[in-house]
Structure 1
């Protein structure tokens, strides 16, 4: 159990530490989609149809992405649904839904969540990652959490 949690923390911490480094460089977020609807009163932008979000070396794809803004116009929450897929270097994951809460610095992958790093895999109904705490929790309601962990290969000299 401890090894599984260590692998989960490593997978997520490396992925999202890289995102935070990218943000510090003030790289732009580029969003491509078939359609954008912005609701000023609700402060929400809804991107739909083959949504592709890129920031540095991080990429997120989904059928629909809703970006919720706070009163200052900053992102407060992101909700992605439908064929959610993210990738960064040798790490990638997928689920049917994903949410990001800026105030909690929390990412949640929901409904058939999977996270891969190299050959290693963690699967569950939901995977929660608390970025500041570098803490990951995988849960499953109908079945059990599943991990496939490969030993590290020795470097050849």
Structure 2
């Protein structure tokens, strides 16, 4: 069980760093809360898989899905977190001065080293009044760059890109 908590802890510390040191420090200091119906831990493979209405929270960060899997690299560090479900979900408030960033997709993959989030199939990304939707969205946390495509691996059919940007005030 301690290894499982370490995997979750590494995952959430990696997920909370969305481009703001303030959010990273604040969220990383918060307790980790995990709810799921089942856990399968494979120490040799370096994976922890939670299934059944998974809800993981730490500070302003939240990750949900029917299945959430954490993968470690050879050094024991979190390399990837993957959430799957009819509407997997991720959110975080980068800092108190910015609106919450919310993302949905049938699959959400967070690449820790690259600080990149993939939202796949029926993907949506919202921050304040700005929205992006399509088959595949890729969000680079540090650069705050969004790339969108109508089609991609794991996307059913073609899902046109839609975007709404609010005027700057």
**Does 1:21 pair with 2:22?**
yes
Bigger radius of gyration: 1
CA spacing shift, 1:122–1:92, aligned 2, 3 Å: same
Question: Which consecutive unaligned segments of at least 5 residues does structure 1 have?
Answer: 1-14
CA-based RMSD of the aligned residues comes to 2.2
Tell me how many residue pairs correspond in the alignment. 138
What SS class does the counterpart of residue 16 from structure 1 fall into? coil
Aligned residue number for residue 85 of structure 1: 89
CA spacing shift, 1:131–1:151, aligned 2, 3 Å: closer
Q: TM-score, normalised by structure 1?
A: 0.76
Distance 1:134 1:69 in 2: 25
Q: Could you tell me how far 1:107 is from its partner in structure 2?
A: 0.9
What SS class does the counterpart of residue 24 from structure 1 fall into? helix
CA spacing shift, 1:91–1:103, aligned 2, 3 Å: closer
Distance 1:103 1:118 in 2: 26
Aligned residue number for residue 108 of structure 1: 118
CA spacing shift, 1:115–1:107, aligned 2, 3 Å: same
Distance 1:91 1:105 in 2: 15
**Does 1:43 pair with 2:46?**
yes
What SS class does the counterpart of residue 49 from structure 1 fall into? strand
Contact 1:22/1:55 (CA < 8 Å) preserved in 2?
Answer: no
Please show how residues 116-131 of structure 1 align to structure 2 within 5 Å.
116-131=126-141
